[in-house]
Amino acid sequence: MPPKKKVDTKPLAGAALIKEVCRRIRFARSLWDAHRNAACRGERAKAIELYETLTEAEKEKIPQTLRVWLRYRSEKYFAP
């Protein structure tokens, strides 16, 4: 039986939050490139959820290519 994963209960903030948003967007992009659209949708939703918690100054620290990809995919392919 594999060991249980340790759940981190404290919320992310500052640089750790920015790093996590970037990681999730990059992972969603890799899933998109691999044509795993359902998995991409879930990962993109998690990335957007975290991205919306950022302040305007923190959003500017996300690389522009990642922000553009997130917005483009969200509007074009995953719009309601």
Query: Which pLDDT does position 77 carry in this prediction?
Result: 63
pLDDT along the chain (80 residues), means of 10: 70 83 92 90 90 90 90 67
CA atoms within 13 A on the CB side of 51: 23
Nearest to 29 by CA among 18, 20, 39: 39
Query: Which pLDDT does position 76 carry in this prediction?
Result: 64
pTM assigned to the model: 0.77
Q: Judging by beta carbons within 10 Å of its beta carbon (0-12, 13-18, 19+), is residue 79 exposed, middle or buried?
A: exposed
Query: Which pLDDT does position 24 carry in this prediction?
Result: 92
Query: Which pLDDT does position 15 carry in this prediction?
Result: 85
Domain coordinates in residue numbering, the chain: 15-76
Both structure tokens of 17: 């939050």
Query: Which pLDDT does position 4 carry in this prediction?
Result: 75
Query: Which pLDDT does position 78 carry in this prediction?
Result: 62
